[in-house]
Structure formats: C-alpha cells, structure tokens
Amino acid sequence: MTVRVGIIMDPIAQIAFKKDSSLAMLLAAQARNWTLYYMEQRDLYQYGGQARARMRALQVFNDPEHWYETGEETDAPLGELDVILMRKDPPFNGEFVYSTYLLEMAERDGALVVNRPQSLRDCNEKFFATQFPQCTPPTLVSRRADILREFARDQRDVILKPLDEMGGASIFRHREGDPNLSVILETLTEHGARQIMAQRYIPEIKDGDKRILMIDGEPVPYCLARIPAAGETRGNLAAGGRGVAQPLSDRDREIAAIVGPELRKRGLLFVGLDVIGDYLTEINITSPTCIREIDNAFDTRIGERLMDAIAQKLQR
C-alpha cells in the first residue's frame, strides 16, 4: 500500500521555485510513488476529538513554470495520513501552537509528524541553542534593559534579536559607543514586555552564516555558507545574503555530534543548525531551508535522504 504524505505549508503558488526546500521534499516523496496531499495552516480543524483537515491531492513537477497541480478539496482525518510534513514558516505565534495541538492528535491517531509537535513547541529556534553552551558564543536571554545593557557593555559588540522571527528580521548590531542601544532595546523588548536574545558578535560572519542540515541527528556532509551582502551583518538569504555550498569543517562536525543525539531524542527529524565561525547560533526546526542550493552544488539528494529516514521510521 502506498504511503500517504500530507504537507502543511505556506501557499505553494508563492514559493521560490529554485530555492524551496519543501518542494525538494515533495519531489523526493513523489519519486517513491508516495501519494501527496496539500494543506495550509487554515485547513486544519478539530471535531469530535479528532484532528481533521480540508486537503487536496497534490502532484509536483521539477518545472519552474509549472511546479504543482492540486485536485478537488476533500475532508479527511489527519490520522489517516502516514506522514505529515509540518513546513509552515515562522513566526511562531499562537496559531502555530494551536496547529501543534492538532498535529499531536494526528500523531496519537497514527501519523508520523515531521517534526514532532511537542518538540516544535518546546524548542524555540533561538532559545534551544542555549542548551549547548559549549557550542555557542556568550549568549543572554532577557527582557530587562539593565541586564541587556550590562551584557552589551561587557561584550562591547553584540547582536540583538527577537526570539520568534526568521530570515534575519529585526536583527540589530550594537557596538561600544553606538548611541542607539536604548531605542533598539525599547523596540525589540516592546519596553520590557518581551524576552529577546543577545549574543556576542562573531566577526567570522564575513565568511558566512553556515546552514548545516541534520537528518535524524546526522549531518549532511556539506553546508551552505550564507555570506552577507556588502554593508550587512546578516547572512540570511532573505536579507540579501549570497549562498556558497562547502564541505563541513571539523568544528562543524563536532557541533553536529554534540547536538545530534538531543535532536534524535526529541523526534526532530529534519533540522538546520546555524553556525558562524566556530559557534552555534540557532537551531532551526520549523521549516529549515537550503536543500536545493546544497543539492545543486554537490548532488547530495537531501530530499531522498530525508525520505529514507522517514521510511525507516514507518517500518518500526
């Protein structure tokens, strides 16, 4: 019997064909003759103690002019799917949390959810990295201006960022002598109402913010170094960074070996580690990207590797 794979994602009509990792996953699943179903977050609902969705059969194509077709909408229990790929982008807000509740019900009814819903809730992409202090730069999470100021004074050059954004949104650099710290803290913490993260600035960002993809706790042997545009401190592709695929360094592998067992324990099957120089800065678990850029450079077939891991989980 064929494997039934559902995906929850942002509108497929609006993806960037050349870069979209969800499309790479779908193409790999379809190549195995697995049946695909398309959902957006708004399509999920609960009725009678059961998680359900309005979903459409999906076909995908490796064609930049025509990459998908959907069938008629049907209504079905999420638990009837064998696999659910949760690929909704942040922000991680209340609606995202409610989706994890629904996906936990689907998990209870037999679906394999990638990544595990409880871990999507528990492992904030910024905060989760603090569980591995041996891998990170000096890092602080606080909403108090005085504590944040002390950290900025001690470190002298820092990055300040919100805990719930993506793509380099609302990231600030503050250097000793910069008079704008007050307004940065007021903006990010909403005058002390929100926790934010501060990290010591890592000069090696000039060589790229490396995205290391992890499949069931094991690293893909190549990463994508996202190199900032001129005058930028952010390497994110969404912020204008340039991607260069390259082999993992010894330190990259060391970080992956430290973090990997915890990812496996938490059911985090597909994860992106962000590493600048020798330091882990974030752990991306909601919808990690960069599959297609690495594949194009090194024929790594990351989507196929992920489907292999999923198939092994289904056999257990």
pLDDT average per 10 residues of sequence, the chain (316 residues): 94 96 98 98 98 98 97 98 96 92 98 98 95 98 98 97 81 94 96 97 95 98 92 68 94 98 98 98 96 97 98 93
**Within the chain, what is the greatest distance between any pair of CA atoms?**
65
* pTM of this structure: 0.94
Cα gap 53→45, rounded to integer Å = 6
Tokens of 242: 């340039």
Distance, CA of 51 to chain centre: 24
Cα gap 283→306, rounded to integer Å = 18
Do 28 and 87 fall within a single domain? yes
Which residues span the domain enclosing 189?
138-200
DSSP one-letter code for 121: H
Residue 10 CB neighbours (<10 A) = 15
Position 275, amino acid: V
Do 69 and 27 fall within a single domain? yes
Closest CA to 162 of 150, 175, 172, 154: 172
Could you tell me if 107 and 117 are in contact, meaning their C-beta atoms sit under 8 angstroms apart?
yes
Does a structural domain hold residue 144? yes
Closest CA to 95 of 161, 150, 164, 152: 164
Does a structural domain hold residue 312? no
pLDDT of residue 240: 74
CATH number of the domain within which 18 lies: 3.40.50.20
Residue ending a domain, choose from 115, 146, 162:
115
Residue 316 CB neighbours (<10 A) = 5
pLDDT of residue 92: 84
CATH number of the domain within which 146 lies: 3.30.1490.20
Residue ending a domain, choose from 157, 181, 200:
200
Residue ending a domain, choose from 181, 200, 219:
200
Cα gap 80→59, rounded to integer Å = 19
Residue 212 CB neighbours (<10 A) = 27
Do 233 and 271 fall within a single domain? yes
Identify the H or E element spanning 84: strand 83-87
Could you tell me if 237 and 209 are in contact, meaning their C-beta atoms sit under 8 angstroms apart?
no
pLDDT of residue 239: 63
Does a structural domain hold residue 148? yes
Could you tell me if 205 and 173 are in contact, meaning their C-beta atoms sit under 8 angstroms apart?
no
Apex 40 CA angle, 38 and 42, nearest 5:
140
Do 267 and 220 fall within a single domain? yes
Does a structural domain hold residue 307? no
Do 252 and 291 fall within a single domain? yes
**Dihedral sign, Cα of residue 166, residue 12, residue 264, residue 112:** positive
**Dihedral sign, Cα of residue 13, residue 19, residue 25, residue 28:** positive
Do 93 and 28 fall within a single domain? yes
Catalytic residues: 126, 161, 211, 226, 234, 274, 282, 284
Do 183 and 214 fall within a single domain? no
pLDDT of residue 228: 87
Cα gap 59→67, rounded to integer Å = 8
CATH number of the domain within which 263 lies: 3.30.470.20
Do 259 and 281 fall within a single domain? yes
Cα gap 92→111, rounded to integer Å = 22
Look at the chain and report how many structural domains it folds into: 3
Q: Is 193 exposed, middle or buried (0-12, 13-18, 19+ CB in 10 A)?
A: exposed
